[in-house]
Amino acid sequence: MENENQKKVILSGIQPSGELTLGSYLGAIKNWVKLSDEYECYYMLADLHSITVRQNPADLRRRTLTQIAAYIACGLDPEKNTIFIQSHVPAHAELGWVLDCYTMFGELSRMTQFKDKSAKNADNINAGLFTYPALMAADILLYQADLVPVGEDQKQHVEICRDIANRFNGVYGETFRIPEPFIPKVGARVMSLTSPGNKMSKSDKDPNGCVYVLEKPEDIMRKFKKAVTDSDTERCVRYDRAEKPGVANLMAIYSAATGKTYEEIEREFDGKGYGAFKPAVGEAVVELFRPIREETERLLADKSYLESVYRAGAEKAGYVSNKTLRKVYKKVGFVAR
């Protein structure tokens, strides 16, 4: 096995299906930045996954590039992290097919996300939508990843990946490292501003529920001013997730944006109403995102730099993933190229 002193490998990806949200920034990307010193990190723009739902081609290209620029602007240093576009590394699709043949129909039928997406896209329940957990397993296993950063709601994907890897290893001997889900402890769940019982999501029916990293400051402010709270007037800004979910969500966001504790926030707004609190949260988020938005715009204007980042990323990702793919092809009995 490898040298014990080698860094552990982390693989994570986000579909370029829209702008980065406040939830994905606080729950994932902010934590990713801290990981690069301790781990070998691969970050993938999962464009192969995104076409299970119909995309406008020009929008998909634009969003992919915007997301790479936003990743870098959020602090992901391309010198320390491998940032690449999934479709630029053919090994993903190749291993995805092999793993399709080691993934059981029953396992795929039970995947919660397949049921959810089928309900939302009833006119386009395609084979890719059904088999994408096998492609996701390929994404992870190609890099012999130790850890996969996921939210609580995504653990099922890592579990099926482990099942597929164990099944393959059981037939052919040790081929894949078995990954573990890596659930960040801080800020993992940011809830919708309009329905605080639900996670903040791009698919929120009410567009005011979700805040985007690259949104205009005035739009961010408008959404926070409309955020759902409650009818309390006395000591209304206090943390109580069960009884005051809207306020608790805003406090969690304010805390993440400013570094203040809940006790400090309660003291700051003691005797003040939501009319003072909600704009203050909005302001804090605007200031948190201002440098990211400005840097993203600067990077998007420098097309040759962005191209150099994703090409270098694909080259490194291709080198590492092809080592795994060659091993798999040999084990299943394919003739060497």
- 8 part of the active site: no
Return the SS3 of 85. Answer: strand
Beta pairing, strands 39-45 & 81-85: parallel
Q: What is the mean pLDDT of residues 166-190?
A: 86
- 202 part of the active site: yes
The percentage of the chain sitting over the pLDDT mark of 90, rounded to a whole number, equals 73
123-168 pLDDT per residue, tens: 888 999 899 999 999 999 999 999 998 766 678 889 999 999 999 9
Q: Is residue 23 annotated as involved in ligand binding? A: no
Q: Is residue 50 annotated as involved in ligand binding? A: no
Marked catalytic residue, from 202, 226, 316, 331: 202
How far apart are the C-alpha atoms of 245 and 209, rounded to whole Å? 14
Q: Is residue 260 annotated as involved in ligand binding? A: no
How far apart are the C-alpha atoms of 37 and 187, rounded to whole Å? 20
Return the SS3 of 206. Answer: coil
Q: Which amino acid does the sequence have at 230?
A: D
Domains defined for the chain, CATH in brackets? 9-187+303-332 (3.40.50.620), 217-296 (1.10.240.10)
Hey, what are 320's tokens?
Answer: 């590492």
Marked catalytic residue, from 117, 223, 244, 278: 117
Q: For residues 249 and 223, is the Cβ–Cβ distance under 8 A? A: no
Hey, what are 282's tokens?
Answer: 């909005």
User: Across the beta sheet with 147-149, what order do the strands follow?
Assistant: 81-85, 39-45, 8-14, 147-149, 180-182
Looking at residue 1, its pLDDT comes to 42
233-271 pLDDT per residue, tens: 888 999 999 999 999 999 999 999 999 999 999 999 999
Angle, CA 135 vertex, CA 137 and CA 166 arms, to 5°: 30
- Phi, psi (deg, nearest 5) at residue 272: -110, 150
108-117 pLDDT per residue, tens: 988 877 777 7
Q: Is residue 202 annotated as involved in ligand binding? A: yes
Hey, what's the torsion of the CAs at 12, 119, 26, 257, to 10 degrees? 170
78-102 pLDDT per residue, tens: 999 999 999 999 999 999 999 999 9
Q: Is residue 55 annotated as involved in ligand binding? A: no
Marked catalytic residue, from 8, 120, 185, 199: 199
How far apart are the C-alpha atoms of 326 and 337, rounded to whole Å? 9
- 327 part of the active site: no
